[in-house]
Structure 1
Amino acid sequence: MNEIQKYPTPPDEWASLKTFTDARIALGKTGVSIPLRESLAFKLAHAHAKDAVYSSLDTQALATRWQKYGMPVYTLKTQALHRDQYLQRPDLGRKLHEESVQLLEALHANPVDVAVVIADGLSATALTENAEPFLDRFWTKAGERGYSLAPLCLVEQGRVAIGDEIGKLLRARLVVVLIGERPGLSSFNSMGLYLTFDPKPGLTDERRNCISNIRPQGLSIELAVDKLLYLLQEAFRLQLTGVLLKENERKGIN
C-alpha cells in the first residue's frame, strides 16, 4: 500500500453545500492558492457586477414594450446628471429633475391606489431581465383585486426614495419601486422592490417594506408578486407600511 492509499484525503465537508448556494465555498486549492478556474471565475463575476453598475435602461425600448399594459409610460430623470455623479452623490438620485416634476404636475393626476416606479438603481440589468415578467403577473393580479394604477414611470439615475416624490405627484395612496440592487459577485441581476404607504418627500427607510433578490436564481417572480399583493392588502387595511407592517400570515393570495 502506497502512502496516498494509506493516508487518503478526507472528504471536503463543504463540497455538498455547494448545491444549495452560489456563495464561493469549497473552492479547492492548488498549493497555497485556489485553482486557476476559480480565480478566473471570480474575475468574471467581478466584471459582471461592474458592468451591471454602469448598465443603463433602454427607456425607449422599455416604454414601447410596456405600452401593452394599456397605460401611459413616462421617462423621468433625477438631479443626478450622469452615472459618476449618481454614484458619488446619492442624494441627487432621490430628487426629480425640475423638468420631470413639471411633466408630472401637468398631468393633473386623479387619485389612484398604486403607482409603480421602475428605477435603474445600481443594476439596470436587473430591471431589463426581471421587470417585465414581474409586471405581467402583477398587472393581472392587481386588476383582479380592483386596484387603480397610476401611469408607469421609468427613472434614470434613480434611488429608492425617488418613488416618494413621484407617488405624491401622482396622488397615489401607495408607491411600489422596482429597482436594481447592488450587484454581488453571484447576483448581478437581482431586482429589489420597495413599497411605501402615503408617499411624500422626506420619508425614511423605516416607512418602507422591502422584497429583495427577485431573479431566477433567487426569489421567483410568482412568490415576489404574491408577497407584494399580501403587503398591499395589509398596508391598505392598516394604513401604513414599514417596520409596523409584518408578513405574519398569507390570506387571500391565491
Structure 2
Amino acid sequence: MSNLESWRQFTQARIGLGRSGGSLSTKDVLRFRLDHARAKDAVLQEPNWDQLRKESAEFSKTYGISSQFVKSQVTSKEEYLLRPDLGRRLSKEDVSSVNPDNASYDLSIVCIDGLSAKAMDENLLPFVNRFLMMIQKTKLSLAPLVFAKWGRVALGDEIASLFHAKLCMVVIGERPGLSSCDSLGIYLTYEPKLGNTDETRNCISNVRPLGYPMEAAVEKTIYLISESFLQKRSGVLLKDQMPMDTKFILEN
C-alpha cells in the first residue's frame, strides 16, 4: 500500500486520485459527480418537517421544553437562495407568536434548516437531544425550542431577542462541501439583537459523524456557553481555552 493510499483511510478529502494518462480515473470522476449531486440535493431539498414536529413533541415530554415552528420572510426556496436578507428576518405573522407571554430566559435554542436538509434530517435531533440531556445539569432557563424554515444564522438574533434571552444558540444546516453534505454549524451570540454581525458569534463547524463528533461538539458548546455567561461576551472577544478534561465544566 502506498503512502497516499494509507492516508486516504483517515480523510474524505480527495488525495491520491488515480489517473489514466492526463485524466482522472473513471471511478474518481464518478465519485466526484455523486458527491456534487448530493451537495445539490442537500441545498435544494426540504427537511422532513413532519418528523421534526414528531420528535420535538418527544423532547417536550422528556425535557419539559415546548417547541415552536416558524419561518423567515422568504416565500420560496429560489427566493431563499437569491435573497439572504429575507432569511435573516422573521415573517410578520410569526413575530407575534413567539413569546406571547413576554417571558425572559437565559438561553434560546433556534434550529434552522439553512443550506442542508440532510444535516437537519440526520444530525439535528441527535445533537439537540444530547445537548438538552447535558444542559439539564446547569440552572439555565431555556426558551421554547424553535424550528425555523428558510432561515439564515442572523434569524436567531431576532427570535432570541423576542424571548428576551441573554444568549442565542443557533443550530443550522451548513453549506455542503463536495465531501460533506450533512454538516451542522453551531453559533453562539451573547446579547442577541437585530443588527448583530458575525464577529459577535462563536462558531463550531462541521458537526457530523465523520467530522466533529457529536459528543465533542456538545461539550464544546456547553463550555462556550459557560464562558460566555461568565465573561458576558461572545465572538472574537471570547477566546476558546477549553481544557482537555471537560468533566468539571459539564458537572458544575
Interval of TM-score (by shorter of Structure 1 and Structure 2): over 0.9
1:209 Cα deviation from its structure 2 partner? 0.2
- Counterpart of 1:56 (choices 46, 57, 62) is 46
Please show how residues 9-28 of structure 1 align to structure 2 within 5 Å.
Answer: 13-28=3-18
Contact persistence 1:59–1:154 (CA under 8 A): no
1:60 Cα deviation from its structure 2 partner? 2.9
- C-alpha offsets along residues 24-82 of structure 1, whole Å, 9 cap, x if unaligned? 11111112111111111110000000000012122232122112222221111111111
| Runs of 4+ with >6 A deviation | none
Partner of 2:152: 159
Partner of 1:66: 56
Partner of 2:19: 29
Contact persistence 2:220–2:242 (CA under 8 A): no
* Cα separation, 2, equivalents of 1:69 and 1:144: 16
Partner of 1:124: 117
Determine helix, strand or coil for the equivalent of 1:210: strand
Partner of 1:90: 84
1:123 Cα deviation from its structure 2 partner? 0.3
Please show how residues 170-185 of structure 1 align to structure 2 within 5 Å.
Answer: 170-185=163-178
Q: What is the aligned-residue RMSD (CA, Å)?
A: 1.4
1:249 Cα deviation from its structure 2 partner? 2.8
Partner of 2:182: 189
What TM-score, normalized to structure 1?
0.92
* Cα separation, 1, equivalents of 2:102 and 2:141: 12
- Counterpart of 2:140 (choices 135, 147, 162) is 147
* Cα separation, 2, equivalents of 1:12 and 1:90: 46
**Gap runs ≥5 in structure 2:** none
What TM-score, normalized to structure 2?
0.93
Aligned-pair identity in percent equals 44
Equivalent AA in structure 2 for residue 224 of structure 1: A
* Cα separation, 2, equivalents of 1:57 and 1:30: 40
* Cα separation, 2, equivalents of 1:69 and 1:20: 35
Equivalent AA in structure 1 for residue 22 of structure 2: V
Aligned length: 243
Q: Which has the larger radius of gyration?
A: 1
Contact persistence 2:68–2:145 (CA under 8 A): yes
Contact persistence 1:57–1:120 (CA under 8 A): yes
Larger mean CA deviation between 234-243 and 109-118 belongs to: 109-118
